[in-house]
Amino acid sequence: MKKINLRDIPELSWASPKGTYGGSGKEISEALGRDPQSTDLRQRHPFDVELCRISPGKKPGPFHSHSAQWEF
């Protein structure tokens, strides 16, 4: 089993142009070895794990659905 420490994962920040949406996060699945560019299901995880922090007064993003990702 691969182990990681959250303090060793770089934190990525994002914000919308108008500043309505924003936050930061750590891509835990990628740190554990997930290949973000691969479409091979054996090289991907069944789900992604991210530690997400949302700043006060911000929203993480507009309402949307990821159901189209699960086509097999």
Half-sphere exposure of 26 (CA within 13 A, CB side): 12
pLDDT tens per residue, range 50-62: 899 998 899 988 8
List the helix and strand counts (H, then E) for the chain: 1, 3
Half-sphere exposure of 20 (CA within 13 A, CB side): 3
Residue, of 43 and 50, whose pLDDT is higher: 50
- What's the CA gap between 33 and 72, in Å, rounded? 22
User: pLDDT-derived band of residue 32, with 50, 70 and 90 as boundaries?
Assistant: confident
Element (H, E) at 62: none
- Tokens encoding 61: 């993003």
